């Protein structure tokens, strides 16, 4: 398990560092100039944007989550989230490339051996290999402990059988971190183990891709495993440690989804403000009508509130706060709902123009919905928070 740091939370975390500001501005420019012009087409064609992957790789964006000794940048969670936010402001699908690269690699960051890190991180950090996170199954969504995929030890290997569903980047990844049952009889949270499956490999198949409402350029795959042999050296962590690794992963990955949500809200807000400034009706700027002005004010205030909760959550989680799960769930809950509300209001501000693809806000609204669903639905986030408040019975 990732060691819980004893470093106290820094006292002054209310401004980004000079370096984080430069990084933010650089990615914003990159996103404005190179990603935003592609966003509508990525959405329309629903094709994975290989060019954007290359761009993010060449600018070292995909290296952010990985340690410096393995070719990464060793960025802290806040820095990663600042990057995700800026990409998502232009194109939520493109931001998912970084989000999933981190998500898929987190089991290794948390519990991988030095040998595994040295073997896989350099290609992940350079963007040569993409990662995916294989936890969810057709019958095991919110209830991850109900996983059915099996891994059976056979000599110096494991044989994996089962199906994973809703796997982001599942069809383009070269490394999938797969969760499978190794001890069916063990207590509920000791049944799973985690494996690094290098693909393509025999018995591994991308069964289908989903047709989605939003984030359409990010392939969401159903993956089937039929007698897939994985060397024992690819087991991440100990047998039975899978549940802890999965939950530890989500604690650190949910802020990434929150960052995507904040970026979406910010992007939609900016479009709405520009429109309200330019569009004239009844002889004046529509933004000068109080009803529109008030909407914009609320959109801005909500977005900023979500952003600040996210940034604070990142710092707390990075500092090893004992209630990391609560911070993680809270920032995703608030940011996801904010993204949905702000993008919906942006469509409203643009009126009929907001509903057609001439402007990006309808896409942003469709994209925003997923942030209320994945890496735990908003209901699951509330469950996590309420459990943190109440503690377990007895």
Partner 1 sequence: MALRIVVLTKPVPDPAAAAEKLGPDSRLDRAASPAVINGNDEYLLEAALKLADAQGAEITLLTMAPAGGIETMRKGLAMGAHRGVLVTDPALGGSDVLSTARVLAAALGELEYDLVFAGFDTSDGVGGVVGAAVATLLKLPYLSSAARIEPDAEGGKVRVRRISPTGFDLLEAPMPALIVGTQLLGEPRYPSLKGIMAARSKEVVTKSLADLGLDGEQIGGAASATLVTGKRTPPPRAATRVVRGTPAEGAKEIVDLLASRRLV
Task: Report the interface residues with partner 1, using CB under 8 A.
Answer: 18-19, 22-23, 26-27, 29-30, 58-61, 63-64, 73, 83
Least distance to partner 1, CB of residue 35, Å? 12
Neighbouring C-alpha atoms within 13 Å toward the C-beta of 8: 3
Least distance to partner 1, CB of residue 178, Å? 29
Query: Cβ(311)–Cβ(81) under 8 Å?
Result: yes
Considering the complex, state which of residue 83 and residue 310 has its C-beta at the smaller distance from partner 1: 83
- Cα separation of the two ends of the chain: 26
Least distance to partner 1, CB of residue 209, Å? 30
Least distance to partner 1, CB of residue 342, Å? 24
Considering the complex, state which of residue 60 and residue 238 has its C-beta at the smaller distance from partner 1: 60
For residue 292, what are its two tokens?
């529109």
Least distance to partner 1, CB of residue 283, Å? 13
Q: Measured on CA atoms in the order 247, 253, 255, 257, is the torsion positive or negative? A: negative
Considering the complex, state which of residue 61 and residue 335 has its C-beta at the smaller distance from partner 1: 61
**SS3 state of residue 229:** strand
**Cα distance between residue 200 and residue 207, in whole Å:** 13
Considering the complex, state which of residue 58 and residue 226 has its C-beta at the smaller distance from partner 1: 58
**DSSP secondary structure string, 177-227?**
EEEEES-TTS-GGGSEEEEEEESS-TTEEEEEE---SS-TTS-EEEEEEEE
Known catalytic residues?
375
Considering the complex, state which of residue 34 and residue 382 has its C-beta at the smaller distance from partner 1: 34
């Amino acid at each position: 398990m990732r060691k819980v740091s004893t470093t106290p939370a820094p006292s002054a975390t209310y401004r980004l560092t000079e370096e984080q500001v430069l990084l933010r501005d650089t990615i914003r420019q990159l996103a404005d100039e190179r990603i935003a012009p592609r966003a509508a087409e990525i959405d329309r064609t629903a094709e994975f944007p290989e060019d954007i992957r290359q761009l993010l790789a060449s600018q070292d964006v995909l290296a952010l989550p990985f340690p410096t000794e393995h070719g990464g940048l060793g960025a802290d969670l806040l820095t990663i989230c600042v990057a995700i936010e800026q990409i998502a402001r232009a194109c939520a699908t493109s931001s998912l490339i970084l989000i999933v690269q981190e998500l898929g690699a987190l089991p290794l960051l948390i519990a991988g051996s030095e040998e595994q890190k040295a073997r896989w991180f350099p290609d992940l950090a350079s963007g040569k290999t993409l990662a995916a996170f294989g936890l969810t199954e057709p019958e095991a969504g919110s209830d991850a402990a109900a996983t059915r995929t099996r891994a059976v030890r056979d000599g110096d290997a494991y044989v994996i059988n089962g199906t994973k569903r809703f796997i982001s980047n599942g069809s383009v990844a070269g490394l999938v971190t797969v969760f499978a049952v190794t001890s069916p009889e063990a207590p509920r949270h000791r049944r799973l183990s985690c494996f690094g499956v290098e693909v393509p490999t025999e018995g591994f198949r991308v069964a289908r891709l989903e047709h989605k409402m939003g984030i359409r350029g990010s392939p969401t795959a159903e993956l089937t495993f039929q007698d897939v042999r994985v060397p024992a050296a690819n087991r991440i962590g100990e047998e039975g440690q899978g549940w802890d690794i999965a939950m530890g992963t989500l604690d650190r990955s949910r802020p990434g989804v929150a960052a995507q949500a904040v970026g979406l809200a910010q992007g939609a807000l900016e479009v709405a403000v520009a429109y309200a400034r330019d569009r004239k009706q009844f002889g004046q700027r529509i933004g000068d009508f109080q009803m529109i002005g008030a909407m914009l004010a609320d959109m801005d205030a909500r977005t900023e509130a979500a952003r600040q909760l996210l940034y604070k959550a990142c710092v707390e989680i990075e500092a090893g706060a004992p209630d990391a799960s609560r911070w993680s769930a809270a920032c995703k809950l608030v940011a996801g709902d904010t993204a949905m509300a702000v993008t919906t209001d942006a469509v409203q501000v643009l009126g009929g123009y907001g509903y057609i693809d001439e402007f990006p806000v309808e896409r942003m609204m469709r994209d925003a919905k997923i942030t209320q669903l994945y890496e735990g639905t908003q209901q699951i986030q509330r469950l996590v928070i309420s459990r943190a408040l109440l503690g377990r019975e007895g």
